[in-house]
Homo-oligomer: A and B are copies of this chain.
Amino acid sequence: MQSGFATKRVIIGSDGFKKVVDIASPNKIGLPNGHIDSTLLADVSPGGSFEVNGAVYHVLTCDMFDYVMYYLKRRTQIVYPKEGAYILMRLDVSPGKRVGEAGTGSGAFTVCLSRAVGPEGRVYTYEQREEFHKLAEKNIRGFSEFDNVVMRNKSITEGIEERDLDAFFLDVREPWEVMAEVRKALKPAGHLGILVPTANQVSETMSSLNQNGFYISEVVEIMMRKYKLVPERLRPEDLMIGHTGYLIFARKLGE
């Protein structure tokens, strides 16, 4: 199975220019000071460079971070790599595991899950709205490196079909409405991760977890502070992301 990563490249220019492009489909690629044919780009080996009107551009292979941040088509708020990476760690996702997700959204995190469970694992992802389901399907089919994602175009309020899942990730507006369903789908001591944007939702979700036989292991925010890339004048960037969401992690108690 050929992943979409193989035919994507990152173009790096001066002043922080960065663009992810497809070298498989012939088209003109816009640059700050001109353009280049995608077919010419295919001849530049990764790490190499090309010149357009006197300006040098570097070409890199496209990684998961580049894909999610700069290429993936999105019509929803997505799970960003800074949260996504930590969620993978806290849900103990690893090769061979079976994990669930709702909602799929644009599929950004689904692709990360697919990679982390590897060829022997399975990802079951639920999305109620057909338009998001279809967009995510395109994103996932185009980039998953393993044929391990099962997509369901339905809300988990109608039930989760799987049982004994190792982990579940919830990114829905009212997690408390589906807590009992999620509990049924998880194996004993299974991992649950939840992302909500507001403090009020955190409180309500925590209460629901306590009532539904979960052990809450952590509630956390992740803040990233990026620095300007000038070694002799090292300083954080003027603006930073102040908030994406609160993360709640829990384990299923009881049988």
Interface residues of A (CB under 8 A from B): 12, 45-49, 58-61, 63-65, 81-82, 84-86, 88-90, 92, 94-95, 112, 115-116, 118-119, 145-146, 188-189, 191, 197-200, 202-204, 206-207, 210, 215-216, 218-229, 231-244, 246, 251-255
Contact = CB atoms under 8 A, between A and B. Distances in A.
Given A47-B188, A64-B89, A85-B89, 17 more contacts: A47-B253, A63-B92, A63-B191, A65-B89, A65-B92, A82-B86, A85-B85, A88-B88, A95-B95, A198-B233, A199-B199, A199-B235, A206-B231, A206-B234, A222-B224, A236-B243, A238-B243
A229 B85 CA distance: 22
A200 B246 CA distance: 15
Nearest to A236: B243
A251 B60 contact: yes
Contact of A215 (B60, B116, B237, B242): B60
9 cross-chain pairs, A with B, having the tightest CB-CB distances, nearest first: A240-B242, A47-B188, A236-B243, A206-B231, A46-B189, A85-B89, A63-B92, A199-B199, A219-B227
A202 to B, nearest CB: 6
A174 to B, nearest CB: 13
A235 B45 contact: no
Which of A84, A89, A222, A246 has the most chain B CB atoms closer than 10 A to its own CB?
A: A89
Nearest to A196: B235
B221 A224 contact: yes
B199 A255 contact: no
A12 B189 CA distance: 12
Contact of A221 (B92, B225, B241): B225
